[in-house]
Chain A
Amino acid sequence: MATVINDVAGGEIEHVEVEASLGERWLMEPAAFETLTGWTLKPEGMCRGNVCAPIYQRDAVLADGLVDLLGAAPVIGRSAVVDSKRGVAALGASAAARGEEMTSLQAPDFTLNDMNGQPVSLHNFERRKVLLLAWSSW
């Protein structure tokens, strides 16, 4: 088993255990890739709903019928870092998607834990003015 730190829609982080074949590359069965990302490998490319993204660099994306996570990420509009040696990967938004979200000026909702492990969400403070104060111990 391997772990993918997945930034899911809504901006929360999930640690997902996945089946992967780890060597030089991080390879996954198409079904496991679909469970992780929501994208299905089809003859026309990577598909989700009615949208299919063509695969131009097949060698980077596919190997013996398996999906290369690092190579497939840009096809589905995500960014990825993989550490096959340690069995940990991170899957996030592409820079372009993040930039677009920011330019919309819509404040993205988030849910984080407080100091006691209780969830705090931005949407708890609707109809208030919110000062988001970023700070740290360092």
Chain B
Amino acid sequence: MWQTLQEELGPHGLTIIAVAIDNDIEALREWTEAAPGLIYAVDREYMVAERYGIVNVPATVWIDESGRIVRPADTAMGDDRFRDFAHVDSSVHHDHLRNWVLHNERDVDDAAVAELMERPSPELQQARLHRRIAVLLHDRGDVEGAREHLASATALAPHDWVIRRGSMPMNDVDPFGPEFFAFVGEWAAAGSPGYRLGTGREEPKGPEYWNQ
């Protein structure tokens, strides 16, 4: 769907840069080959995630023609294939996007954008550094060393999806397996941090739902 939106809105001035918050380039190829019309970039070190406050994927940030952030990181689905799981109606975000590109109308103003930016805690910054070390060690084949640093990162940022879930493949953990669902339950019990805008969210799900 993102590629369709690029085709639809590109002539009206929109460029989608699809930034993979991921250190496994080979695992990304099946997705990029399925939608070859988008511009791709790989954020192995989580630098874009850090600087734009991205704590989960898929998420979008809007940047206007003058280089200003005009909509903060917000969960946004390309289509409704995860609707039963994530309870997000993807079309709501797409309609907001059309309004912005075609009519310069936004659903959030500057004050709200500043308020909604996810400013990092010192612990989250430390977690990102641990993850960066883990990626380097993993690249060098030091799986044990990578695990230690991923464990430290998780302890420091237990509710950050890109830290927590993004570490699962390096730890040989299934990102759709039991550990993931346990994490989602924990995250929901903590009040679903990081879902502050919640565009298209159909109804908030409490921990009881995730722990079923």
Contacts and interface: CB of A to CB of B under 8 A. Distances in A.
Interface of A: 3, 5, 7, 11-13, 15, 79-81, 83, 86, 88-95, 98-99, 101-103, 105-108, 110, 112-115, 120, 122, 125-138
B187 to A, nearest CB: 15
Contacts of B63: 107, 122, 129-132
B58 interface: yes
B31 interface: yes
B15 A99 contact: no
B197 interface: no
Contacts of B43: 112, 134
A93 B80 CA distance: 37
Interface of B: 2, 13-22, 24-25, 27-32, 38-43, 45, 47-54, 57-65, 67-70, 73, 76, 97, 100-101, 110, 113-114, 117-122, 124-126, 128-130, 132-133, 136-137, 142, 145, 149, 152, 162, 165-166, 168-169, 175
B189 to A, nearest CB: 22
The 5 closest A-B pairs by CB, nearest first: A99-B119, A90-B129, A137-B27, A112-B41, A81-B129
Contact of A128 (B65, B73, B122, B126): B65
B125 A92 contact: yes
A112 B23 CA distance: 12
A13 B39 CA distance: 21
Nearest to B130: A81
Contact of A125 (B17, B120, B122): B17
A25 B28 CA distance: 38
Contacts of B30: 137
A81 B133 contact: yes
A91 B117 CA distance: 23
A133 B18 contact: yes
